[in-house]
Amino acid sequence: MKWIVSLAAAAGVLSSIAGAPAIAGETPSPPGARVWIIWPKDGEVIHGGKLWVRMGAKGIGIAPAGVIKPNTGHQHLIIDRPLPSFDQDIPADKNHLHFGGGQTEARIELPPGKHTLQVLMGDQDHIPHNPPLYSERITVIVP
Q: Tell me: the pLDDT tens digits for 45-89?
A: 999 999 999 999 999 999 999 999 999 999 999 999 999 999 889
Q: Give the span between the Cα atoms of 60 and 38, in whole angstroms.
A: 16
Residue 95 confidence (pLDDT)? 98
pTM exceeds 0.85: no
Residue 2: burial class (beta carbons within 10 Å; 0-12, 13-18, 19+): exposed
* Lowest mean pLDDT segment, chosen from 25-29, 47-51, 132-136: 25-29
Give strand pairing partners of 96. Answer: 78, 93
| Structural domains present in the chain | 7-16+23-82+98-142 (2.60.40.10)
pLDDT bin (cut points 50, 70, 90) of residue 25 is low
Q: Give the span between the Cα atoms of 56 and 121, in whole angstroms.
A: 11
Between 9 and 80, the more confident residue is: 80
Would the pLDDT of 20 be above 90? Answer: no
Between 88 and 134, the more confident residue is: 134
What 3-state DSSP class applies to 95? coil
